[in-house]
Structure 1
Amino acid sequence: MKFAWTPHRFSGGTLAFDLANTVILRHDPARRLDRISGPEDLAGFAVAASLHCAEARQDMAYAPCPASALQPLLELRELIDRHFRSLAVSGESNFATFVAMADKAASILRQTGMTPQRIDGAVSLSALSLAMETMNSASKALRVKLCANCGWLIVDTSRNRSRIWCDMTVCGNREKSRRHYNRKTGSPEA
């Protein structure tokens, strides 16, 4: 199944979260959907991330990685999700998941031919950077959140840390519509 890599798919605020968020409805086995099932999907992600990711530089596009790099990157994706989802829920970094994520990122960065422009290298650097910031700063850790609607990982860059949704036009609008419907029909809030 082919997917459109729209700007909404890059709402995480960091490349590491955008990759983790490629698994849709992660905690609902019946509806779970992985947007990266092969190297061609990862190549599409790299192109779209160059255009839409918050960390993307206009003077440098992300390059796809070889097919052999797909599995290690997907393993890193799961470690990113596990580490930062735990942080968002508990407010505290788990050192064991941090070390596992750092080890996986380091092994990716040691691959022959690695560059910071290659998508797997860029994701590894993004994950390590954010992990180091949140490990050493309680205020930065508080900015790691989960979207209240879809559960995606997001970095809250709002001044007063009030971000609730990954994207106001998608998840925020759905929630506002749900509340409006419940008010009009007299249904209890879910």
Structure 2
Amino acid sequence: MTTWNETDFVAGDVVLDFLNTVGDHDKQRAIEKLTCWKDALDWAARAGVVDAAEAGQLAATSGQSLALALLREFREAAFGLLSAFIKGVEPPSDAKRAVEASVHDAMDVTIMGSTGRQLAWDVAPEHQGPDLIRHRLALRLFHLTASPQMSKIKECKRCTWLFIDHGRGNGRVWCKMAGCGNRAKMERFRAT
């Protein structure tokens, strides 16, 4: 079981934090952090994708294994799409199709509501089953890809984590200085 803490939420956008739910060493994306449905629920609650009541309902829902598999597939497809975009290359066609399908699925079960003085889109209450997390993340990805933030998304030089560079000079190159940045500094120091 994975324990989530503040170092897991450094991307500057919840969708990117979700894409970073993979442990990574040297661009491998080899360590699965969503090992069970509880990991996904805990992450979604900590990230604010679901509230405590929704997390409780999702913990008792059926279809958890399939929902987890689809959530992981969406994560990897969305990562493939954004990583290719960042590198300026054509995204894998299967990743593009999978993301499009997830966004279409989410849009099909979405309604408009209001929060205060803003309009907001969310998954309709009758569709808030095991795919709720994936649908909400797909909607947020849709909004992210249409936002000015897209031009500020970067991939860490050392791992595959994505983040939004909010710096004035857009010079951030590490997902987090305390991890990849320090390891890179140590490697440079040892090489001299």
TM, length-normalised to structure 2: 0.71
Residue 6 of structure 1 pairs with residue 32 of structure 2: no
TM-aligned CA deviation for residue 127 of structure 1: 0.9
Range with greater deviation from structure 2 (3-12 or 99-108): 99-108
In structure 2, runs of 5+ residues without a counterpart are 110-125
User: Which structure has more RCO (C-alpha within 8 Å, separation ≥ 6)?
Assistant: 2
CA contact (8 A) 1:72 1:108 kept: no
1:160 maps to 169
Per-residue displacement from partner, 1:84-117 (whole Å, max 9, x unpaired)? 0101111x674955454132133145454239xx
> Cα 1:124–1:141, aligned 2, differ >3 Å: closer, same or farther?
closer
Q: 1:150, 1:166 → 2: CA distance? A: 8
Higher strand share: 2
2:136 maps to 122
1:53 maps to none
> Cα 1:170–1:46, aligned 2, differ >3 Å: closer, same or farther?
same
Select which of 40, 43, 51 maps to 2:41. 43
Amino acid at match of 1:22: T
Q: SS at the partner of 1:145?
A: strand
> Cα 1:130–1:95, aligned 2, differ >3 Å: closer, same or farther?
farther
> Cα 1:169–1:158, aligned 2, differ >3 Å: closer, same or farther?
same
Amino acid at match of 2:145: A
TM-aligned CA deviation for residue 166 of structure 1: 0.7
Identity of aligned residues (%): 23
Query: How is 1:1-190 mapped onto 2 (pairs within 5 angstroms)?
Result: 2-25=1-24, 27-28=27-28, 32-50=30-48, 61=51, 63-64=54-55, 65=58, 66=61, 67=64, 68-90=66-88, 94=91, 97-98=95-96, 100-110=98-108, 112-114=126-128, 118-133=132-147, 140-183=149-192
CA contact (8 A) 2:28 2:159 kept: no
> Cα 1:15–1:171, aligned 2, differ >3 Å: closer, same or farther?
same
> Cα 1:121–1:7, aligned 2, differ >3 Å: closer, same or farther?
same
CA-atom RMSD in angstroms: 2.8
In structure 1, runs of 5+ residues without a counterpart are 51-55, 184-190
TM-aligned CA deviation for residue 178 of structure 1: 2.1
